[in-house]
Structure 1
Amino acid sequence: MRIAVAGLGLIGGSLLRALDAAGHQVIGFDADPATRDAARAAGFQVAESLAEAASGSELTALGVPMPVLPQLITELAGYDGLVTDVTSVKGPVRDLMRAHGVGRFVGGHPMAGKEISGFAASEKDLFAGCAWVLCLEPGETDLDDWLALARLFTGMGARVVPATAGEHDAAVAKISHVPHLFAAVLAAQISNDPLAGALGAGSFRDGTRVAATRAELTAAMCGGNAGPVGRELRRLIGQLEEIADALGADDLVQLLEVDELVPLLKPGEQARRAWPATAGEPSAMAVDETALLELGRSGGWVTSVNASDVVTLRPETDRNDP
């Protein structure tokens, strides 16, 4: 397949590398001349414009931040190939594609990344084993286009998870966007407390890793998903306030009383110990929009695409045997 990849940062650059390694004819583009030069030096074909990269391609993948998308989309005017993206928010991108009349679009989001960015950080195996959301909008998404992308990405080793844009945005607010905000606030504590920085160890390192992400990228990610992120942030702040109340910070005696804390902490302990869920046995499933969406809602995913069905896995506890 001939594929254009626009935006050659960590995700786009890794996609360029992965598709090339899988044997596809790939041409890249990036607005930054230094990034284009770096990709060429790595042996990849790189165009000077998106229009040039997309010309003659069957698929164009947009690997740029949300604020850059409107300009790129205008450069695809008249393009009749399939378009996908890797943006971490899906509802606004779907609306943007509709507004610009992009006829063949399937939103995507690979749940892979690092706290560092840029083409130099990209790697061909970044997506191996990762969950790759492919949006399936009832009555709107062309199922053949969806399956073509599912076949492409499972061929790169990803686990394809079907979901609507709204379902995706609500879920990533919980497990990606708000954690970035929490990490930023936690990490900032050591900026004026050298002793705390010296004592920081495993829990601080693991809880703040993504705080090293460029602030501009985190702001664009969370700002683009402002509604779900705001709701989730307020919900979690409410739970933290419950914990603060249980601690009774003004009552030193109560610090020794842990009974009130345990019920507040136990759900997190149990959820984390059970994650990630153990997968059940592979199962063939007929291609059906409703069944695919139910698969995603149950925490399942597609592992491969055949001529008439897809092979799926579900968490063992949610799987219903025939």
Structure 2
Amino acid sequence: MWESARVKVAVIGLGLIGGSLLKALAAAGHAVTGYDTDPVTRELAGAADSIAEAVEGAEIVALAVPLPGLPGVLGELARLGDEAGPAGHGALLTDVTSVKGPVRELAAEHGIRRFVGGHPMAGKETSGFAAADPELFDGCAWVLCLEPGETDLADWLTVAALCTAMGARVVPATAAEHDRAVAGISHVPHLAAAAIARRLVGNPLAATLGAGSFRDGTRVAATRAELTAAMCGGNAAAVREVLAAVIDDLQLRLAELGEPDPVGALVPALREAGDARRAWPARPGPATVAPAGVEELLALGRDGGWVTAVAEDLGTVATMRPESGRNSS
């Protein structure tokens, strides 16, 4: 009932995420082709020499290029569609970009008829095809955008089935909901990590003394600067809003450090943060099986829930929600 159909998938862009996707899909038994602009990567991955060659006959095309490169790729796909290529014969497009609103707009601008925006919440501080891992998505949350009145539900469920078969927990959300959420839990943390890591510049003593808290707080600062800039800049409005809230919070801590009893002043906010962190991630509640509907899926995502499997007929989904009132410890 829950097995995913085997399909032909083309992956455009073979860095860490795209390369991992290519390997995971192949391991799951799908027919996969890939393409990357870098000839060394193409040779390493055994990829096609052009986008046209990679997408020939593909049922699903996954775009795994940075946001600045998407207009060119979508333009190429649109051109191929005009020539009875992938868009012309009805291929379904998805992507793995870390910001969803701008990608949704680009897909509409280029006349892409079947599109389901996606973002796997997985990664490493290393990049490139050499770092690709077919198990990267096992257990990760994978957002798939579901826009009421716009996204075809059958298309959404088709991509969801592909992702759950790789071990991912599929989270339904609109593009706007996704962008607001990831600004707080992904994009601003990259900027905060970079700010802390910059304390090493010209400070060899600090570099020698850096230990666990520095390592854990700055891991993502090792991400290639262009990638961090692209995801934060692509989600600028939401990032600005969250970053301003974080700065306000730090300004309050700065003021508390100037009070007569700074230790006592700091405790309430630190305790609240500690309680929230210890309660994360929440334990999953019991599994449920439900009919697949747009509003029901979006309500699931807003509750912090996820889809674990999609029935072969695309009419039913297996779901889980966080167990309220208990933490993961």
TM-score (normalised: structure 1):
0.94
Structure 1 residue 257 displacement after superposition: 3.9
Q: Number of matched residues? A: 309
User: Which of 269, 273, 291 is the equivalent residue of 1:268?
Assistant: 273
Does residue 36 (structure 1) correspond to residue 42 (structure 2)? The answer is: yes
Aligned to 1:43: none
Q: RMSD of the TM alignment (CA)?
A: 1.2
- Determine if the alignment matches structure 1 residue 139 to structure 2 residue 144: no
- 1:187: Cα distance to partner? 0.4
Question: Is 2:56 the counterpart of 1:67?
Answer: no
Provide, for residues 175-205 of structure 1, a one-character-per-residue CA deviation record: whole Å limited to 9, x for no partner.
0000000000100101111111111110000
Letter matched to residue 27 of structure 1: T
Name the amino acid aligned to 1:298: D
8 A Cα contact 1:298 1:318, kept in partner:
no
**In structure 2, what residue type is equivalent to 1:290?**
E
- Residue 318 of structure 1: how far off its partner (Å): 8.0
Distance change in 2, residues 1:286/1:198 (3 Å): same
Residue-by-residue CA offset, 1:45-99 (whole Å, 9 max, x unaligned) = x211111111111000000000000000111121220000000000000000001
Residues 101-134 of structure 1 deviation map (CA, whole Å, 9 limit, x = unaligned): 1000000000000011000000100000000000
Give the percent of matched residue pairs that are identical in Structure 1 and Structure 2: 62
What is the match of residue 199 of structure 1?
Answer: 209
SS state of the match for residue 137, structure 1? Answer: coil
1:1-322 alignment runs, 5 A limit: 1-40=7-46, 46-77=47-78, 78=81, 79=87, 80-248=90-258, 254=260, 256-306=261-311, 307=313, 308-317=315-324
Q: Which runs of 5+ in 1 are unaligned?
A: 41-45
Letter in 2 for 1:17: K
Unaligned runs of 5+ in 2: 1-6, 82-86
Q: What is the SS of the residue equivalent to 1:14?
A: helix
Instruction: Write the letter of the residue equivalent to 2:257.
Output: L
| TM norm structure 2 | 0.92
> Deviation per CA, 1:260-312, whole angstroms, max 9, x where unpaired?
21122122111001000010010011111001001001000000011331000
Q: Is the 8 A contact 1:153 1:160 kept in 2?
A: yes
Amino acid of the structure 2 residue aligned with 1:241: Q
Q: Contact 1:13 / 1:122 at 8 angstroms: preserved in 2?
A: yes
Deviates further, 270-279 or 46-55: 46-55
User: How many Å separate the matches in 2 of 1:146 and 1:238?
Assistant: 39
What secondary structure does 2:264 align onto? coil
- Residue 278 of structure 1 aligns to a residue in which SS? coil
Distance change (3 Å), C-alpha of 1:318 and 1:97 = farther
Native 8 Å contact 2:25 2:166 kept in 1: yes
Answer yes or no: is the 8 Å Cα contact 2:256–2:262 preserved in 1: no
1:318/1:49 CA distance change after superposition, 3 Å: farther
* Corresponding residue SS for 1:223: helix
| Cα pair 2:304 2:321 within 8 Å, conserved | yes
**How far has the Cα of 1:247 moved from its partner?**
0.5
Tell me the amino acid that sits aligned with residue 301 of structure 2: G
Secondary structure at 2:318 match in 1: strand
